[in-house]
Amino acid sequence: MNEDLTTDPSAVPVTPPKGSSWLSAIWVILPLAVLTVAIWWLIATNPLARFDNGAPPLESLTVERTILDLNGLRLLVRAGGSEPMIIAQIQVDAAYWEFVQEPSGPIARGETAWVSLPFPWVTGEAHRVTFVTNTGATFDHAIPVAVATPSVTSGNLVSQAILGAFVGILPVAVGVMFYPALRGAGPSTMEFLLAMTVGLLGFLIVDTLEDSLEFASQAAAIFQGQAMVVLTAAASFLILMAVSRRQGSPTGLALATYISLGIGLHNLGEGLAIGAAFAAGAAGLGTFLVIGFTLHNITEGIGIAAPILKVRPPLWTFAALALLAGGPAVVGIWIGSLAYAPQWSALALAIGAGAILQVIFEVSALLVRRSGGDSARLGSMPVMAGLAVGVGFMYLTAMLVKI
């Protein structure tokens, strides 16, 4: 009945004729109907039966959370098989252990279940859990260092908050305290400081993306970790750009706030990683390491202070900016220590990467505006030196904490 439309492209009218909405509805329904019929035919007649060569179904099992407590082990597993998977037996250190699965029965693709085993794990030692499915396939999960998973107690929360304050809030606050000393900065110093901010943010975005991808690689395949990280970072960048550009390019306090937000999201990721390390038993944070983290993050405060050197914001804004940039480290440690699934950490870090990209963009734009479009000034000594110092300082202080 739509013969003329389909055979003659020139028949597509420039101005919609009467009944065009009815026609276009048909052209939405028809392809969907074809798809429905095709799927129905596939299921009803199974024309692909010839491909059923007797091979067992594809199976995939990912452990997302590992909780060690007085009752033994509890593991949150996510199935990713081509068919629902059945966990038939579980070994710990090459011995079969009774287990309870909740909910019991086959685990559908993408679904999760908790399994618990009354296994007497040994503090400080390694254990290996092996899942055996009904087809005899095995999936290994390593517990590199067994320690009790931190539980939510006020004592734990306070001590974790103190650690977070040292890693996140203190260095940012110290950096912001350079504000009065920097206020008298001339144009060259200003350019140096802004370029330094771009440099340190450049280091942070590489670091954040790297960590995000690492978490993503531990997540179940169904989440498509790498695509998720890239798309999330891009979305985060675009949304923040759209929000920040509603009233033109952000400068001054607004820009400082966006820098704080980006750094805060990065510090959330840093906190998540520290918390996850606690949960994974890698919690030997020495004083030396904490001092390393503190030094490493001091430039972040200077970066936040740079855009507001020529405005005079009220005192409380400094505290707010320091909290916005550093506080998420505390939250990150709290969440991370509860051993949450890696895809959530990857997601948080990807959002952070997008936010950092946005502030790199804005601070660079500010630098360009200050140069008045003079590209020679962009390549000037203060700018180049600032970039080098920003990246170099971050890289060198990272040596204190990379092990």
Question: In the bound complex, what is the minimum distance in angstroms from residue 134's beta carbon to another protein?
Answer: 5
Asked whether position 134 contacts another protein by CB under 8 A, the answer is yes
Q: Is 399 in the site for another protein (CB under 8 A)?
A: no
For another protein, the closer CB: 56 or 187? 56
Give φ, ψ of 281 to 5 degrees.
90, 10
Q: Which stretch binds another protein (CB under 8 A): 1-9, 118-126, 370-378, 382-390?
A: 118-126
**3-state secondary structure (DSSP) of residue 369:** helix
155: amino acid identity, one letter: G
Instruction: Select 244 or 345, whichever has its Cβ closest to another protein.
Output: 345
132, 91 Cβ separation under 8 angstroms = yes
* CA-atom Rg of the chain in angstroms: 28
HSE of 392, CA atoms in CB hemisphere, 13 A: 7
CB of 329 to another protein, least distance (A): 11
Q: Round to whole Å and give the CA distance between 184 and 365.
A: 23
Residue 207 as a binder of another protein (CB under 8 A): the answer is yes
**What DSSP line would sit under 266-284, residue for residue?**
HHHHHHHHHHHHHHTT---
Cα 348 from Cα 268, distance rounded (Å): 8
Q: Which amino acid is at 224?
A: Q
What three-state secondary structure class fits 64?
strand
**Range 210-239, binding another protein (CB under 8 A):** 211, 214
Say whether 92 sits in a helix, a strand or coil. Answer: strand
Nearer to another protein, 40 or 96 (CB): 96
- The residue (of 97 and 179) whose beta carbon lies closer to another protein is 97
The reply on whether position 120 binds another protein by CB under 8 A is yes
Task: Classify 46 in phi/psi space as left (phi over 0), alpha (psi -120 to 50) or beta.
Answer: left
- Residues 349, 159 contacting (CB under 8 angstroms): no
Query: Which position among 123, 217, 226, 249 is part of the footprint of another protein (CB under 8 A)?
Result: 123
Backbone region of residue 262 per phi and psi (left: phi > 0; alpha: psi in -120 to 50; beta: other values): alpha
Which alpha helices (DSSP H) does 219-251 contain, by range? Answer: 225-244
104 contacts another protein (rule: CB under 8 A): no
- Between 198 and 290, CB nearer to another protein: 290
Q: H helices of 92-186, where?
A: 154-164, 170-176, 179-182
Q: How far is the CB of 282 from another protein (least distance, A)?
A: 5
- Among the listed residues 290, 298, 324, 335, the single contact to another protein using CB under 8 A: 290
Q: Which is nearer to another protein, 173 or 279 (CB)?
A: 279
Site for another protein in 247-286 (CB under 8 A): 269-270, 273-278, 282-286
Cβ 64 to another protein shortest distance, Å: 16
Chain positions 138 to 177 lying near another protein, rule: CB under 8 A, are 138, 144-148, 150-151, 155-156, 159-160, 162-163, 166
Q: Closest approach of Cβ 108 to another protein, in Å? A: 17
Q: Which positions lie near another protein, rule CB under 8 A? A: 70, 72, 86, 88-91, 94-99, 117-124, 132-138, 144-148, 150-151, 155-156, 159-160, 162-163, 166, 207, 211, 214, 269-270, 273-278, 282-290, 333, 337, 398, 401-403
